Structure 1
Amino acid sequence: MSQLFGILYKSRHFFLFLALQIVCFYLMSKNNVYWDVSFFNTTNTVVARSLEVSQKANEFVSLGKVNDQLAAENMALRKQLTDIQEANFPIPGYKQDSAKAYRFEYTVAKVVGSTHNLTDNFITIDKGTDDGVKAGMGVISPNGVVGQVAYANKHYSRVYSVLHSRQMVSAEVLNKKLREENNVALGIAKWGGVNPRYIQLTNVDRFKPVAKGDSVVTSLQNPIFPPHIMIGKISDVSNTTSEAFHTINVRLSTDFSGLVYVYVVKNKLIESQQEAENNSSIK
């Protein structure tokens, strides 16, 4: 204790100077309007900046929760959009069965692992059979088609990305001319194994009027995806008179290098459809 008092005694001149400085600033702020206002403004600025930094820190910490909430809201909106599209089928004279119109359900999942530059690419998500996810279900993102569940255990699932040699998607080209002609351009979207930003669209009749910039979406003949889910846009089209089909490259709408959240799609009537298609009593 005596050493502490000794240090304080040796520093008495510094503490006296500090005390006098504080008194001087106090007297100037009280007797000079300019100094009083300047001091007040400076203090407010420091406090405001401190609060701003604190708010940004809180927002950063809460980003995960906010993203989860946004993903859940997007899933609900996706469900509503699909129900509306299915219930208002755009073919004159055709009335959609009520059960079929509301057959798709969605489950939000987070991507916990993925590849996009291999020959066969997979995605791992944090939902499994305990969450109702099964092999064969479709997977989409807010931007478009992602792939199909290949395997699921209780807590995780492995997904065939569309950037996989086994993954094929029934697709349809949309443009104004096709709509005016009441025509449909169907094909199969399949990755060629080269560029992860592009996929190839095959089996589209070369007499169908398709062009660069046309949208490519999931077709009505797709049992695991709702119709008209975005796949991408046509980047180039070519053909020769000796070929029956267009050669089409499509720029994917989904960026597989930046996937965070996806939606697993459940078709509640898929088993009924498969039973009808595989009925062995029909020769």
Structure 2
Amino acid sequence: MGELVDFFIRSRNFILFVLLEVLCFYFIINTSNYWSATFFNTSNRYAAQVLAWSNAANQYASLRQVNADLALENQQLNARLTKLLQSKPAAPKEYQADSAFADRFKFVVAKVVNNTTQFANNYITIDKGTDDGIRPGMGVISPTGVVGKVKVCNQHFSVITSILHSEFLVSSKLVKAGEIGSAKWDGVDPHLIKLDAIPRYKPVSKGDSVVTSEFNSTFPPGILVGRVRSVGVQPNQTFHDLTLNLATNFSNLSFVYVVENRLQAEQDQLEKQVENEK
């Protein structure tokens, strides 16, 4: 307390000067219309700027929660859309999928905590594991398209084999042509992927959509893989040389959806039984 008193005593001349300046400023503003209006306009302008900065800071601070809420909402919409598509498959009118088939895909939202794109074989780490029902072999998608497949898990984390992996194949279908091929990354550009085994006689155009086909048990059919970027012909081959723009942008991947096919084990068991009997 004594030090504070000493400070005021030492600085009494400066403090008196500041108080007199404030008093003069007050009288100038209150006795002159011009200076009063100028002060009012200037103070309002700076107050508005500070308020704008404050609002921007608050909005930025809440972006994490906003993104999490949007990811949860997308999870629910994906589940509803997939159920609707599964209940109305492209089949004869007399065919009706049962409820178990329509409900076979379940989605779990997860946050990406690590992601690589610069290697020949890339992996992604998410913050969900076996405690959340995740297990190896499950497919992973983003809000825009295919991401990869779960490789290993522990209680709280999972590592995903990215579609940007030299050995990762996705059974894919050209929407317009109805032709099925395999999408595979060539290890060059993380924004592009190749689509193989599409016959040359099939009409393909730039911009055509490529989605997951019905012939895999990992992903629901109709998930976007990419769109045709260029159309060529493989030398001495009867297939198109197709390059796609990947639907998923791996450079800013924040949230993903792990896809559980509830009937996959049943399907795999039956197919394995048939293979063993051959």
Q: Same fold (TM over 0.5)?
A: yes
Letter in 2 for 1:69: D
- The whole-number CA distance in structure 1 between the counterparts of 2:136 and 2:163 is 15
1:166 corresponds in structure 2 to 167
Shift of 1:126: 1.1
Deviates more, 1:30-39 or 1:238-247: 238-247
Letter in 1 for 2:239: F
- The whole-number CA distance in structure 1 between the counterparts of 2:157 and 2:31 is 71
Structure 2 gaps, min length 5: none
- The whole-number CA distance in structure 2 between the counterparts of 1:236 and 1:45 is 53
2:203 corresponds in structure 1 to 209
1:265 corresponds in structure 2 to 259
The 1:241/1:111 distance shift into structure 2, 3 A limit, reads closer
1:255 and 2:256 matched: no
Task: Write the mapping of 1:1-283 to structure 2, written as runs, cut at 5 A.
Answer: 4=7, 7-8=10-11, 11=13, 14-93=14-93, 94-175=95-176, 178=177, 184-239=178-233, 243-280=237-274, 283=278
- The whole-number CA distance in structure 1 between the counterparts of 2:19 and 2:234 is 92
Shift of 1:236: 2.0
Q: How does the TM-score come out when normalised to structure 2?
A: 0.89
- The whole-number CA distance in structure 2 between the counterparts of 1:156 and 1:144 is 22
Structure 1 gaps, min length 5: 179-183
The 1:8/1:139 distance shift into structure 2, 3 A limit, reads closer
Q: For each residue in 1:27-77, what CA deviation from the matched residue of structure 2 results, as whole angstroms up to 9, or x when unmatched? A: 333333333333233333333222222222222222222211111111111
Instruction: Name the SS of the counterpart of 1:96 in structure 2.
Output: coil
Shift of 1:192: 2.0
Shift of 1:135: 0.2
Q: For each residue in 1:5-26, what CA deviation from the matched residue of structure 2 results, as whole angstroms up to 9, or x when unmatched? A: 65245x2xx5444333333332
The 1:89/1:33 distance shift into structure 2, 3 A limit, reads same
- The whole-number CA distance in structure 1 between the counterparts of 2:48 and 2:207 is 49
* Backbone CA RMSD of aligned residues: 2.2
Letter in 1 for 2:111: K
Instruction: Name the SS of the counterpart of 1:279 in structure 2.
Output: helix
- The whole-number CA distance in structure 2 between the counterparts of 1:30 and 1:91 is 83
Q: For each residue in 1:234-281, what CA deviation from the matched residue of structure 2 results, as whole angstroms up to 9, or x when unmatched? A: 122223695232222222111222211111111111111112212247
- The whole-number CA distance in structure 2 between the counterparts of 1:4 and 1:149 is 67
Instruction: Name the SS of the counterpart of 1:70 in structure 2.
Output: helix
Letter in 1 for 2:272: N
Letter in 2 for 1:187: G
Count of equivalent residues:
273
Letter in 2 for 1:205: P
- The whole-number CA distance in structure 1 between the counterparts of 2:8 and 2:223 is 79
